[in-house]
Structure 1
Amino acid sequence: MELKKSTQKRHQLLNAALDVFCLYGFTGASLDDIAKRSDMHKSNIFYYFSNKEALYIEVLTSVLQKWLESMQMLNVDEDPEEMLTKYIESKLEFSRLNPKASKLFALEIIQGAPYIQTILKGSIKKHFRGKVKVIAQWQTQGKIAADISPELFIMNLWSITQSYADFETQFEVLIGKTLRNRSFYQTAMKNNLQLLLHGALVK
């Protein structure tokens, strides 16, 4: 029971930290505010994390882990249209359900990724290179257009699907809708699949 309660508290803390870091970034965020939002005393934070930086990195790492999990479906032995469709759907669904997480990651990258450089150069780059090879192998098999850059294809896929979360305000002001609107979400999904796959797949 105590372990379950501790796990729930930790999860509660991470959610509160995401809310605060997303609004103010690492520098502007305060542990006092995070403690208040997580309904715990500030001193209790140090039971789970040694300092604010450790908490911040953990929040970002949890986001990256979810992205890496979805990337696993891109396997050279699978059908590219089916797998890319599922991957694009999962990325857009993540933007719909976790806009704060996407915004926080974007904020960190815009600032030069000072706190996750090691992760980017390590596990993220390793996974990225692995999936680039999958796209390249599909090209060799004649399933993906040969004149497409595998690296840019994946980067563009990320950029387009994450933009719905990162620039949510822009979508709301200019279009009047965000992914929270079910009809718009379905339209965005259809548009993204058409845009990202139409020029990539060989028919």
Structure 2
Amino acid sequence: MARAGTTARKTRNQMEKRQAIFEAALDVFSEKGLRGATLEQVAKAAGLSKQNVVYYFAGKDEIYAELLESLLQKWVQPLHDLTADGDPMDEILTYVSRKVQMSRNMPRESRLFATEILHGAPRLGEVLPTDLKTLVDEKAAIIQGWMDAGKLAPLDPHHLIFSIWAMTQHYADFDVQVRSVLGPDRSATRFEDAEAFIKDMLIRTLRP
């Protein structure tokens, strides 16, 4: 029994160490990207030795790959949830809400994804034209169907999705700029204001 308890504690401790490494890596990679980051920087941010980090991961590439895989699954889930069975306007506005909330609650993840893309997608290069394209094409077809049925004003559905990405993720990727321009008073409600503005603009644009 004592051995089982020791094993459980060891496993829990290992999981906590791996999570600490992931949290530290998220900070480092979202700022510096894969090329600019070092294993030493990740270890220092995690409060661990480099040797300790290497015990759990073969190197920074493995940490980065696992982070991105987890991030991509979370990042595309709101688009997965957009369904042809719902009210067209409600589906799109709900998607906007979830994307704004992700920018509010997951700014490091958003910046990590942006940094990966800006560096030429070294790890996502194979996923973007396959899995992501398939998903976007599927949802664009749903939106096009709504437009063809007269439920939404006619627009290019792919560029509509791109525009939603740009408008919502801006508040995470360029947060410093947004807060600087708005000032301290308006910055406090920037996400609520952004969501209301984007929704109002889309309602005006998409209303048939």
Superposed pair shares fold, TM > 0.5:
yes
Q: Are 1:172 and 2:202 an aligned pair?
A: no
Give the 3 Å change call, closer, same or farther, for CA 201–44 of structure 1 in structure 2.
Answer: farther
* Contact in 2 for aligned 1:171/1:178 (Cα 8 Å): no
4+ residue stretches of structure 1 with deviation over 3 A? 2-5, 177-180
After TM superposition, list the pairs within 5 Å mapping 1:44-123 onto structure 2: 44-123=52-131
Identical residues among aligned pairs (%): 34
Distance 1:198 1:72 in 2: 25
Q: Residue 158 of structure 1 corresponds to which residue in structure 2?
A: 165
Is residue 103–residue 110 contact of structure 2 (8 Å, CA) maintained in 1?
A: yes
SS at match of 2:143: helix
Q: Distance in 1 between matches of 2:58 and 2:158?
A: 37
State the Cα distance separating 1:201 from its structure 2 match.
3.1
Equivalences, count = 200
Given that residues 99 and 165 in structure 1 are in contact (C-alpha distance below 8 angstroms), is that contact kept between their aligned partners in structure 2? Answer: yes
Q: Secondary structure at the match of 1:199?
A: helix
Shift of 1:5: 3.2
What is the Cα deviation at residue 21 of structure 1?
0.9
Unpaired runs of at least 5, structure 1: none
The equivalent of 2:190 in structure 1 is: 184
Q: Which residue of 2 aligns with 1:135?
A: 143
- Counterpart-to-counterpart distance in 2, 1:178 and 1:97: 20
Larger-gyration structure (1/2): 2
Q: Which residue of 2 aligns with 1:193?
A: 199
Between 41-50 and 192-201, the greater mean CA deviation after superposition: 41-50
The answer to whether the 8 Å contact 1:172/1:178 transfers is no
1:179 to partner: Cα distance: 9.2
C-alpha displacement of 1:40: 2.5
Structure having the larger proportion of residues in helix: 2
Residue 43 of structure 2 aligns to a residue whose secondary structure is helix
Q: Which moved more, 1:113-122 or 1:5-14?
A: 5-14
Between stretches 162-171 and 43-52, larger displacement belongs to 43-52
Match of 1:8 in 2: 16
C-alpha RMSD of the superposition: 1.9
Instruction: Give the TM-score normalised by structure 1.
Output: 0.90
**TM-score w.r.t. length of structure 2:** 0.88
